[in-house]
Structure 1
Amino acid sequence: MGDGDSLPGQAEAFLSAHPGASLVALGSGEHAGALNLSPLGVPVTFLPAERNVDLAMRYLSLNQFAFGGIGVPRWVLSDLYLLPGAIGLLRCPARMLSASVQERLGVAGDEPAIGAAYYAAPSLTPGLFIGVSLLSVLPGTGASPWVKALTLQMLRARRLRGVAQWDNPSVRVHSRLGPLRLVGRVPGGHEYGERSFVYESELTDLTRLADAMARRLSLTPTLRVSATDLPALSALLDRAEAGEVLHLVYPGLEAGQVLVREGPLD
């Protein structure tokens, strides 16, 4: 698929390190022809959700297990995930999951299980997807950034916008795909209110993406802000909404501080 330093080479190395892992797309059969079913050279099995209800229910159980009270309701899964788009699933032998997760999900041994999953919703703007749900029950494997990166390539996404919280460790995962440009506040508010922000990732520069995934992309922050200093973080969003270029740079959050680079990256 590619040399070890390239993005396809890194994807191949990730899958080789986890024998039995594979990528599956679960969505409406209408969309099969619109997907790239060989993202970065990784083969993807497309499973129409209309004929794979059991797998959809397994994803639902995993999502609700991972997110508790804010897990996806069943009707949202059908109407807003599977009908308009496709979920990227990293499947693996159940034995790769912890015993407690196996028990909760009712899987065991070499039975296929969902180890990680990512859903990004299509938007009105061509090429722009909206990050909705990233989850993994394979800690320490790198599954989260890889299921996200591969799914976005599968969707042919050119840009991604998502919502994150300043103090959430997920910022580290999101920034593995490259610098996160600050966009502003979440439209319509959010359950986590002042702690949340909208970011954008640019996905067309595969060289930069490869460097970011390999942690070779070195961008020095010009500003460090405490993740609990909400007035200062709100002021950052004021600046972003006024048009100033601001990025969170990897790892995004370090020792309780948000890492910001001011000005254009190049």
Structure 2
Amino acid sequence: MRDASALTRGAEAFLSQHPGVSLVALGSGAHAESLDLAPLGLPVRYLPAERNLELAQQYLLLNQLAFGGIGVPRWVLSDLYLLPGAIGLLRCPARMVRPEVRERLGLADEDPTIGAAYYAAPSVTPGLFIGVSLLSFLPGTGAAPWVKVLTLAMLRARRLRGVAQWDNPSVRIHSRLGPLRLVGRVPGGHEYGERTFVYESDVSDGARVAEAMERRVPLPPTRRVAVTDLPALSGLLDRAEAGEVLHLVAPGLDAGHVLVREGEPG
């Protein structure tokens, strides 16, 4: 990322506010040399998934706990997460996570566990990654956007495309990294159909990401659209697919409406 000094200070502040949290990467051993294992100047411990089966199993269980019926199957974790890429993890003592996590995994308070995790898949377009899975069990810490930022820096991502639902609170987290440009509908369709859209984030400029993370220079929306107004939301995607520049701006979702800015965000 260009000019990431402010972002580094924010990441350092996050870690200092939450002692015991550390950044770990889990992936195929073949990828260790391809990653930035000091993203934003912060150390990452790389753990080859071939030799850390217990941690891989823990991630699998937590992903399924977070997402229920659409949680990642074991073969997908191996073939499509760990073999081609790496998962960014925030590890911490179990006492810091939600009680259901400790109960699900049978952990004592000081046992290490995964507090938050993010996986973005590599794509055939250089510098572009596809957001797949973000989870956090560290309530009230702001861990979700930070594990996303740090993982993308580790991957040397410049652009990110992801899938979200208009009415999903995750839109708030995704918009913490900056305006979400609307791309269009999900290729091949989606289980949630008309509620779903593809967005793109530009993460190449660390200073602009830092401004967004700190909620500086907010961009006012030009339009508010109810998440229940499916025809209007479909119309936004029609416009985006036709080449019009449309963004969701922070906080992305407010009182049952998505916040849309028409034209370049400035």
Q: TM-score range by the shorter chain?
A: over 0.9
Q: Does 1:145 pair with 2:150?
A: no
Q: Does 1:99 pair with 2:99?
A: yes
Q: Which amino acid aligns with 2:118?
A: Y
* Alignment deviations for residues 36-68 of structure 1 (CA, whole Å, 9 cap, x no partner): 001111110000000001100000000001111
Q: Which amino acid aligns with 2:85?
A: G
Partner of 2:240: 240
**Alpha carbons 1:183, 1:240 under 8 Å: kept:** yes
For residues 237 and 98 of structure 1, the distance between their equivalents in structure 2, rounded to whole angstroms, comes to 37
Displacement of 1:207 in angstroms is 1.0
For residues 30 and 203 of structure 2, the distance between their equivalents in structure 1, rounded to whole angstroms, comes to 25
Q: Which amino acid aligns with 2:17?
A: A
For residues 12 and 144 of structure 1, the distance between their equivalents in structure 2, rounded to whole angstroms, comes to 15
RMSD: 0.8
Displacement of 1:98 in angstroms is 2.5
The number of residue pairs the alignment matches comes to: 262
**Alpha carbons 1:7, 1:209 under 8 Å: kept:** yes
For residues 233 and 79 of structure 2, the distance between their equivalents in structure 1, rounded to whole angstroms, comes to 35
Q: Does 1:219 pair with 2:219?
A: yes
Partner of 1:179: 179
- TM-score, with normalisation over the residues of structure 2? 0.97
Partner of 1:115: 115
Q: Counterparts in 2 of 1:1-266, with a 5 A limit?
A: 6-266=6-266
For residues 261 and 233 of structure 2, the distance between their equivalents in structure 1, rounded to whole angstroms, comes to 14
- Structure 1: 5+ residue runs without aligned partners? none
SS in 2 for 1:134: strand
Displacement of 1:265 in angstroms is 1.5
Q: Which amino acid aligns with 1:224?
A: R
SS in 1 for 2:177: coil
For residues 237 and 29 of structure 1, the distance between their equivalents in structure 2, rounded to whole angstroms, comes to 40
Q: Which amino acid aligns with 2:123?
A: S
For residues 162 and 250 of structure 1, the distance between their equivalents in structure 2, rounded to whole angstroms, comes to 16
SS in 2 for 1:176: helix
**Alpha carbons 1:208, 1:217 under 8 Å: kept:** no
- Percent identity over the alignment? 77
Tell me: higher relative CO, structure 1 or 2? Use CA pairs within 8 A at least 6 residues apart. 2
- TM-score, with normalisation over the residues of structure 1? 0.97
Q: Which amino acid aligns with 2:54?
A: D
**Alpha carbons 2:221, 2:249 under 8 Å: kept:** yes
Q: Which amino acid aligns with 1:201?
A: S
For residues 64 and 252 of structure 1, the distance between their equivalents in structure 2, rounded to whole angstroms, comes to 26
Which stretches of structure 1, 4 residues or longer, exceed 3 Å deviation after superposition? Answer: none
Q: Which amino acid aligns with 1:89?
A: L
* Alignment deviations for residues 212-237 of structure 1 (CA, whole Å, 9 cap, x no partner): 00111310000100011000000000
Displacement of 1:206 in angstroms is 1.0
Displacement of 1:208 in angstroms is 0.8
For residues 147 and 188 of structure 1, the distance between their equivalents in structure 2, rounded to whole angstroms, comes to 29
For residues 94 and 147 of structure 2, the distance between their equivalents in structure 1, rounded to whole angstroms, comes to 17
